[in-house]
Structure 1
Amino acid sequence: MYIVPEREIAGLMTREAAFSAVEQVFAAMASGDAYNFPVIREAIGHEDALYGFKGGFDQAGLTLGLKAGGYWPNNLEKRGIINHQSTVFLFDPDTGKAKAMVGGNLLTALRTAAASSVSIKHLAREDAKVIGMIGAGHQATFQLRAALEQRSFEKVIGWNLHPEMLPNLAKVAAEAGLPFEAVELDGMTEADMIISITSSFDAILGAGQVSPGTHVACMGTDTKGKQEVDPQLLVKADVFTDEVAQSITIGEAQHAVGQGLIQESDVAQIGAVINGTHQGRTSDDQITLFDGTGVGLQDLAVAASVVDLAIEKGIAIEVDF
């Protein structure tokens, strides 16, 4: 078995490689060549933590495994480490033997950013100029960097519950040579593309705060009860997701479906757009929404890529297990 420690991930996985891996696995899911296992995600009653497992099997890539981990909201304040903690385990699909253990923290950040970036490539207007960010934490910086590579954006606007964190976004915008403006939520109507990346359990973005033609990527809702946007926004929008079953149970669509505002059949897989079996965006006035729930296959795809690179570069630690 190979071990690739967290400390080695930054030197192995690029945003471009993460994007490619995620785009390919979304396409495989839509074509029926890969599937995710049911998600287990529980509040453990200690440190206010949410812990769980996401796994799946990619028949095309012969990738089998799971990611174990979750969200420890007190980590940063108490211990100086990030709140999201995870590890990816890969298994040989031919024998069931453990194949690799991979640090999953940076990989999770990169694959989550890659997912919204894939949605921008396939669903946002080509002439999108203003990108809006809701959320300014650790993951938001990854989201913004990846998103800026997909369109010729000219401005970044941002909102966060705690405004003192907005300099995180301003720094990324400055790195890209773009102006940044802090706005109230009503100011999001200026955006052609909006990414929400929070841990909220209450709707933040209202349906009236999104202009026609906007693409919205909801990336924070991955647990039952979480919510970032008004369910009426999903009524106004054409809704796409990574995994429909997750979207309607633990993703942003859980609320609109639960209230009878939309049906499961109203939610399409982003992989179908990638494969060309769904038309995706059809007009400049259409609001599109990507419900990024985070699927196990994303983690497995990027982890498998990292293991191959680590072995090739002699970085992977081989153990008898």
Structure 2
Amino acid sequence: MIIVPEKEIAALITPEASFEAVEAVFAAMSRGDAYNFPVIREAIGHADALYGFKSGFDRAGLALGLKSGGYWPGNADKGLTNHQSTVFLFDADTGQPSAMVGGNLLTALRTAAASAVSIKHLSRPDSKVLGMVGAGHQSVFQMRAAVQQRGFEKVIGWNYHPEMLSRLEEEASALGLPFEAVTLDEMGAQADVIITITSSFDAILKADQIKDGTHLACMGTDTKGKQEVDAALIERATVFTDEIAQSTTIGEAQHAVIAGMNPAQITEIGKVINGDHKGRSSASEVTLFDGTGVGLQDLAVASKAVTLAQEAGVAIEVAV
């Protein structure tokens, strides 16, 4: 079995490699070559933590395994990342464990890659203003991945705690882009692409705040009860997702479905990647990607990390 420690990941896998892996696995899902198993995610009754498993199998790439981990809100006070995870891979032919891979940075990279895939395939090519709702740890990964897909000229941001917006300003500056803190109304009026990456349980953006032609990548809702945009905005938009079953149960669309939305209105983004759906149909259409985070994303980037670790000579091999 191969072990790739968390400390090695940053030097191994790039945002570009993560993008390619995630785009490929979304396409495989829509072809029926890959599928996710049901998600387990529970409050453990200790440290206010959420813990669970995401797993699946990609027949095309023979990636079989799971990501184990969750969210420990008190970790920041301990100098640790709130999200903690490890990916376990298994030999698809024998069932033997083949790799254990640190999953913290990989989770950040694969989440950012998913929104970037949606921006590539669904946003207007002439998009110039990138809006960021949320300024937590994940936000910088989202911004870095997004700016590679469109010629953005400005970044605007909003956060529940305005003092945290300095993180977005610093990252935008590092990318050579001006930054402006805005209200939610200004966010909807100015942004051509909006990424929401919060842990909110109440709708932040409303349907009447968003201008025509906007693309939204809603990346924070991955648990029953969470919500970043109101149900009316989901109804107004043309909705795409990584996996419909998750979108309607633990993703952003869960609230719209409760309000009466037909799940058949939601399209897997893999269909757009594969050319089976045209994606955006007009410059005025509002598109929305509900990024719930699927186990196959984790398996794809972890498999890539294992290959790169072997090539770099930093993979640790142990007997099983």
TM-score (norm 2): 0.99
**Cα distance in 2 between the residues matched to 1:67 and 1:208:** 38
Tell me what 1:308 maps to.
307
Tell me what 2:22 maps to.
22
Tell me what 1:66 maps to.
66
* Cα drift, residue 209 of structure 1: 1.4
Does residue 1:220 correspond to 2:216, yes or no?
no
Tell me what 1:107 maps to.
106
**Cα distance in 2 between the residues matched to 1:201 and 1:98:** 37
Superposed, 1:235-314 pairs within 5 Å as 235-260=235-260, 262-314=261-313
The AA in structure 2 aligned to 1:118 is: V
* Cα drift, residue 137 of structure 1: 0.6
**Cα distance in 1 between the residues matched to 2:275 and 2:243:** 17
Tell me what 2:56 maps to.
56
Tell me what 1:134 maps to.
133
Secondary structure in 1 aligned to 2:88?
Answer: strand
**Cα distance in 1 between the residues matched to 2:204 and 2:47:** 25
Q: Deviations over 1:201-244 (max 9, x none)?
A: 11111111111000000000000111000110011100000000
**Cα distance in 1 between the residues matched to 2:300 and 2:117:** 15
Q: Deviations over 1:112-163 (max 9, x none)?
A: 0000000000000000000100000100000001001100001100000011
**Cα distance in 1 between the residues matched to 2:196 and 2:262:** 23
Tell me what 1:231 maps to.
231
* Cα drift, residue 176 of structure 1: 1.5
The AA in structure 2 aligned to 1:223 is: T
**Cα distance in 1 between the residues matched to 2:149 and 2:135:** 20
The AA in structure 1 aligned to 2:194 is: I
* Cα drift, residue 282 of structure 1: 0.8
Secondary structure in 2 aligned to 1:46?
Answer: coil
Secondary structure in 2 aligned to 1:11?
Answer: helix
Superposed, 1:53-202 pairs within 5 Å as 53-77=53-77, 79-188=78-187, 189-202=189-202
Q: Deviations over 1:44-78 (max 9, x none)?
A: 1111111010000000000000000011111002x
**Cα distance in 1 between the residues matched to 2:315 and 2:258:** 46
Q: Which runs of 5+ in 1 are unaligned?
A: none
* Cα drift, residue 259 of structure 1: 1.3
**Cα distance in 2 between the residues matched to 1:298 and 1:121:** 17
Q: Deviations over 1:26-52 (max 9, x none)?
A: 000000000000000001111111101
Secondary structure in 2 aligned to 1:248?
Answer: helix
Q: Deviations over 1:95-121 (max 9, x none)?
A: 000000000000000000000000000
The AA in structure 1 aligned to 2:101 is: V
Q: How large is the Cα RMSD of the aligned pairs? A: 0.5
**Cα distance in 2 between the residues matched to 1:313 and 1:176:** 28
Secondary structure in 1 aligned to 2:249?
Answer: coil
**Cα distance in 2 between the residues matched to 1:215 and 1:159:** 17
TM-score (norm 1): 0.99
Secondary structure in 2 aligned to 1:312?
Answer: helix
* Cα drift, residue 23 of structure 1: 0.1
Secondary structure in 2 aligned to 1:25?
Answer: helix
**Cα distance in 2 between the residues matched to 1:265 and 1:245:** 11
* Cα drift, residue 263 of structure 1: 0.8
Secondary structure in 1 aligned to 2:125?
Answer: coil
**Cα distance in 2 between the residues matched to 1:263 and 1:13:** 39
The AA in structure 2 aligned to 1:90 is: L
**Cα distance in 2 between the residues matched to 1:232 and 1:74:** 34
**Cα distance in 1 between the residues matched to 2:278 and 2:318:** 47
Secondary structure in 2 aligned to 1:86?
Answer: strand
Q: Which runs of 5+ in 2 are unaligned?
A: none
Superposed, 1:40-51 pairs within 5 Å as 40-51=40-51
Tell me what 1:208 maps to.
208
* Cα drift, residue 313 of structure 1: 1.5
Secondary structure in 2 aligned to 1:53?
Answer: strand
The AA in structure 2 aligned to 1:114 is: A
**Cα distance in 2 between the residues matched to 1:51 and 1:309:** 28
Q: Which runs of structure 1 show a deviation greater than 3 angstroms over 4 or more consecutive aligned residues? A: none
Secondary structure in 2 aligned to 1:166?
Answer: helix
